[in-house]
Amino acid sequence: MAPASCVRSVVHWLVTALAWTVLCEASPQGLASTLVPSCPTQCICLSQSQVVCNSATLRAVPSALSSSVMQLSLSRADLRVLRSDAFAHLRQLRRLSLDACNLTRIRPFAFRGLPRLNELYIQHTPLATVDAFAFAALQNISSIVLSHNRIAQIEGYAFAGTNFIKLISLRNNPIKRILAHAFSGLNDVTQIELPSGIRSIEPQAFAGLEGVGVLELAYMDLPALLQDTFHGLTRVGRLALRESDLGIIKVGAFDGLRRVETLEMCNNKIDGVEELSLIHNNSVHTFKLTGNHMLETPEAVVLEVENVVIRGNHLPCECGRDPLANPLALTEDFAEENLCISPLKIRGRSLASAAGAACRGEGGGSARARAAAAACRGRAFAPRLAFTFAAFAFLANS
């Protein structure tokens, strides 16, 4: 073997032997400390990728966490405010839980820089307001669960730039009003769950929300469904208004709504309908009006919809009025499949079977018809009374 080749072999052997000596003499604790980042004192590192920091003394997102963390729990921590880019040093994060912490404010873009975040849980906190852009720019996230908080309002553009999400849950929050543009910039969300008890929906509350699979509004107590309530809402699988007091449906309530597979209005109390208009530009494929109680006959109905279902509704039955004269009489079995809500005598009977019955018998007919009938009886009784007095006068003088 050549001298130069022998020298290289000896050097290689010496370096390898030295490396093994260092590794063998090092303590296990010392070796672990050189290979694995240290765990913050207020956390438990179950592995390099899974960390639990459920400490009530923790008041900020730990900065010493390894960049390899994929699952992080900060439940019950004393995190009161999340600053912008609060987790930007944890780009591998996939699941984040902030349940039961003292969170009161989320700054704009608090979760920016988390391209792999898939699940976000913020529940049982004193959070009262979702600020503008608080959940903005979240990509590839599957669910944002915000239930059981104290959220009273969602500011405009709170979810702007967040795409391809399966679920946003806001159940069990005291939200009373949905502000304009609250969901603007949110695209392709499978389902949005809103709480019960909503009392006001501002015009264009859903403007800029594109591509929602299911948007369900239930157990509301509205004085009115205002003009442009759904203006700017596009590409909807199912929009459902159910089990609510909708008050007065104003002219233009559905103006600007676009590309809806199914629009349902089910089991609501409706004080009056100034206009129910779904024109061709709304592109509603199926409209279902079922089980509603309407206190007044709609003033105007225009339904340019491919499939219409109007069934099981309770409507006023006016004396002497053909039920097919109702503006909602747009389906073949309308009179047989809808019921009378008034007058009391025929409540619950189908419109077809009650036709004409409202004018027969005591208590029948509308209040206006009964008043007219009473006036007629009064006028008929007056001549008979005058004749009776004249007869008595003639007998007394004879």
Provide the residue-wise pLDDT of the chain in tens; the chain has 398 residues.
455 554 455 345 443 444 444 333 444 444 334 445 689 888 999 999 999 999 888 999 998 899 999 999 999 999 999 999 999 999 999 999 999 999 999 999 999 999 999 999 999 999 999 999 999 989 889 999 999 999 999 999 999 999 899 999 999 999 999 999 999 999 999 999 999 999 999 999 999 999 999 999 999 999 999 999 999 999 999 999 999 999 999 999 999 999 999 999 999 999 999 999 999 989 999 999 999 999 999 999 999 999 999 999 999 998 777 888 899 999 999 999 999 999 988 999 999 988 766 666 534 334 444 434 444 444 443 444 343 344 434 444 54
Helices (H), ranges, the chain: 3-25, 28-35, 334-337, 351-354, 367-397
- How much is the pLDDT for 373? 40
Give me the phi and psi of 392, to 5 degrees please: -60, -40
- All structural domains of the chain with their residue ranges: 47-195
Residue 201 contacts residue 231 (beta carbons within 8 Å): no
- How much is the pLDDT for 250? 97
- How much is the pLDDT for 15? 38
CATH architecture of 47-195: Alpha-Beta Horseshoe (3.80)
DSSP string, 91-139: TT--EEE-TTS---EE-TTTTTT-TT--EEE--SS---EE-TTTTTT-B
Peptide bond into 323 cis (omega under 30): no
Handedness of CA 368, 370, 371, 376 (dihedral sign): positive
Q: Which residues of 341-380 are buried (b: 16+ CB within 10 A; e: fewer)?
A: bbbebbeeebbeebbebbbeeeebbbeebbeeeeeeeeee
- How much is the pLDDT for 24? 39
